[in-house]
């Protein structure tokens, strides 16, 4: 990891979240029925293990790539995310063009729960991505319907950063800072789009040959 301090890069977008929410609802149903028309590695046997109440789009996130879907708003997110990644690369002293970046994206659908989902109390809820090597590896999320909620980042053993989520906002952070969502007690579903962005060589180092990854440039 770089020796840079923790930093979130973000950008507010202006997408029609009602339409985007409906689009992701359709994709959710297609995942549950294994009728997703886009390229994926889902199977009937795998899909049968999941249902709408245990966040199938997240649990099956290795089986599809949202950024390979043909949708105008997903394309806007992809393009804006590329500019945000270039900004992050410049901040950490990397050339975006030299990284030969790869990207994968998925969406998360969380239903209301009375259980206490608090990573401050239960640190096991924190997780990192792809080894947590830090920049030039990045992870982030875009809030479709995530207000009011908090995403927690563990800076070190004694410090936790609380990020208040704002709908229509892209967030990007270097890997190496474990994170977790917090409680969601609203009546509606909490929906976010998540993404991993890493150099091609990182996937080779980790022996990841998943065909859902696509070039990001």
Q: Which residue has better confidence, 150 or 111?
A: 150
Residues 6+ apart with CB under 8 A from 172: 8, 9, 10, 81, 84, 85, 88, 138, 139, 140, 197
- Cut 0.75: pTM above it: yes
* Cα of 41 vs its chain's centroid, Å: 19
**Residue 2 belongs to some domain of the structure:** no
Q: How far apart are CA 104 and CA 203, in angstroms?
A: 12
**Residue 1 belongs to some domain of the structure:** no
Tens-digit pLDDT profile for residues 32-41: 999 999 999 9
Instruction: Count the domains in the chain.
Output: 1
Q: Give φ, ψ of 142 to 5 degrees.
A: -125, 130
Exposed, middle or buried by CB within 10 Å (0-12, 13-18, 19+), for 94? middle
Domain at 69, CATH number:
2.60.120.620
**Residue 197 belongs to some domain of the structure:** yes
Q: Which residue has better confidence, 215 or 117?
A: 215
**Residue 54 belongs to some domain of the structure:** yes
Q: Which residue has better confidence, 1 or 165?
A: 165
Q: Find the domain containing 25 and state its range.
A: 9-215
For residue 2, the model assigns a pLDDT of: 64
Tens-digit pLDDT profile for residues 51-91: 655 689 999 999 999 999 999 999 999 999 999 999 999 99
Tens-digit pLDDT profile for residues 175-212: 999 999 999 989 999 999 999 999 999 999 999 999 99
Q: How far apart are CA 101 and CA 97, in angstroms?
A: 8
**Residue 73 belongs to some domain of the structure:** yes
**Residue 3 belongs to some domain of the structure:** no
Mean pLDDT, the chain, rounded, equals 94
* Cα of 46 vs its chain's centroid, Å: 21
Judge whether 210 and 62 are in contact, CB under 8 Å: yes
**Residues of the chain above pLDDT 70, percent:** 96
**Residue 87 belongs to some domain of the structure:** yes
pLDDT at residue 3 greater than cutoff 90? no
Q: How far apart are CA 15 and CA 19, in angstroms?
A: 9
Tens-digit pLDDT profile for residues 80-133: 999 999 999 999 999 999 999 999 999 999 988 767 888 888 889 999 999 999
**Residue 94 belongs to some domain of the structure:** yes
């Amino acid at each position: 990891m770089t020796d840079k301090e923790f930093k979130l890069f973000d950008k507010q977008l202006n997408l029609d979240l009602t339409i985007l929410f409906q689009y992701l609802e359709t994709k959710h149903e297609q995942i549950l029925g294994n009728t997703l028309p886009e390229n994926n590695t889902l199977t009937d046997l795998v899909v049968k293990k999941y249902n709408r109440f245990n966040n199938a789009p997240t649990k099956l996130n290795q089986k599809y790539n949202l950024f390979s879907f043909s949708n105008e708003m997903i394309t806007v997110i992809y393009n804006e995310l590329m500019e945000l990644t270039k900004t992050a690369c410049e901040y950490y002293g990397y050339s975006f063009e030299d990284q030969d970046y790869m990207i994968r994206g998925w969406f998360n659908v969380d239903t209301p729960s009375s259980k206490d989902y608090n990573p401050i109390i239960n640190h096991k809820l924190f997780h990192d991505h792809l080894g947590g090597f830090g920049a030039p590896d990045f992870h982030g999320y875009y809030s479709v319907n995530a207000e009011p909620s908090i995403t927690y980042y563990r800076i070190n053993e004694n410090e936790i950063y609380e990020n208040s989520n704002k709908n229509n906002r892209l967030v990007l952070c270097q890997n190496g800072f474990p994170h977790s969502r917090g409680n969601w007690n609203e009546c509606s579903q909490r929906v976010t789009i998540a993404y991993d962005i890493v150099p091609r060589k990182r996937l080779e180092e980790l022996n990841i040959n998943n065909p859902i990854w696509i070039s990001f440039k």
